[in-house]
């Protein structure tokens, strides 16, 4: 960054003062909180996170220094819970990302499954020589439950990316087939009872098995 583009010392000082003000307001909101999901505390938290982020960026740009703490941004937190106090139904929303790290291993596993399936000999796509990745994924996910694939992903030539699991509350179950056309359209963070995320962003070092670390959020 050029000297002309650097923030001034006064701008850095003003950002530091903004953090101090946000800290005071956050503490005041916590002291006056009316419950576990007080929106005033939530708003003060987000204001503190935003002020700290601005200060951190200006401090680095001006002095090439960083703060010794990290406050998660507003996009990493959940809004106040707005669901029923005693849910009579729940939805489990899961997303898992994978990279096809070893296509040859994936194709070999799919072909093995096809060879074991007598129905595939009747002209099914899995029985065609030179099966492709697209068809192999269909064979794999058609044979195994998603949880089993998650636990055996390396065996199938897959590499884990980020994943998240949301447990959301509801008063009652939807009508059968009601949401099948757009299953994730109504994913509402304010109805989340608990949430579990897995990503390498939570820790610079991988977990003990070389897998990304996780983070859990529980409303209870």
Question: Do 57 and 126 belong to one domain?
Answer: no
Domain of 109, in residue numbers: 89-218
**For residue range 32-45, what is the model confidence (pLDDT) as tens digits?**
988 777 888 888 88
**pTM for this one?**
0.59
Strand partners for 196? 165, 216
**For residue range 138-185, what is the model confidence (pLDDT) as tens digits?**
999 999 999 999 999 999 999 999 999 999 999 999 999 999 999 888
Q: Looking at the 3D structure of the chain, how many domains does it have?
A: 2
**For residue range 51-70, what is the model confidence (pLDDT) as tens digits?**
998 998 899 899 989 888 76
Closest CA to 210 of 147, 159, 155, 149: 159
**For residue range 109-149, what is the model confidence (pLDDT) as tens digits?**
998 888 887 665 554 444 445 568 999 999 999 999 999 99
Question: Do 125 and 17 belong to one domain?
Answer: no
Which sign, positive or negative, has the C-alpha torsion 213, 55, 51, 26? positive
Q: Which residues of 198-210 are buried (b: 16+ CB within 10 A; e: fewer)?
A: bbeeeeeeeeeee
Question: Do 102 and 144 belong to one domain?
Answer: yes
> d(Cα 51, Cα 162) in Å, to the nearest integer?
28
């Amino acid at each position: 960054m050029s000297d002309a583009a650097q923030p001034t010392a006064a701008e850095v000082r003003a950002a530091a003062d903004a953090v101090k003000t946000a800290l005071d307001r956050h503490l005041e909101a916590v002291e006056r909180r009316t419950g576990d999901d007080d929106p005033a505390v939530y708003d003060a938290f987000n204001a503190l996170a935003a002020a700290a982020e601005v200060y951190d960026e200006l401090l680095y740009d001006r002095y090439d220094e960083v703060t010794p703490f990290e406050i998660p941004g507003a996009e990493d937190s959940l809004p106040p819970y707005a669901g029923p106090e005693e849910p009579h139904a729940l939805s489990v929303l899961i997303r898992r990302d994978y990279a096809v790290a070893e296509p040859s291993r994936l194709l070999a596993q799919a072909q093995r499954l096809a060879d074991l399936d007598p129905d595939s000999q009747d002209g099914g796509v899995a029985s065609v020589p030179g099966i492709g990745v697209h068809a192999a994924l269909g064979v794999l996910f058609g044979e195994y439950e998603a949880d089993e694939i998650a636990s055996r992903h390396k065996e199938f030539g897959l590499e884990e990316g980020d994943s998240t699991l949301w447990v959301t509350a509801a008063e009652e179950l939807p009508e059968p087939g009601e949401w099948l056309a757009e299953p994730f359209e109504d994913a509402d963070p304010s109805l989340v009872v608990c949430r579990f995320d897995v990503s390498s962003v939570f820790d610079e070092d991988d977990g003990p098995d070389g897998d990304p670390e996780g983070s859990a959020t529980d409303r209870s």
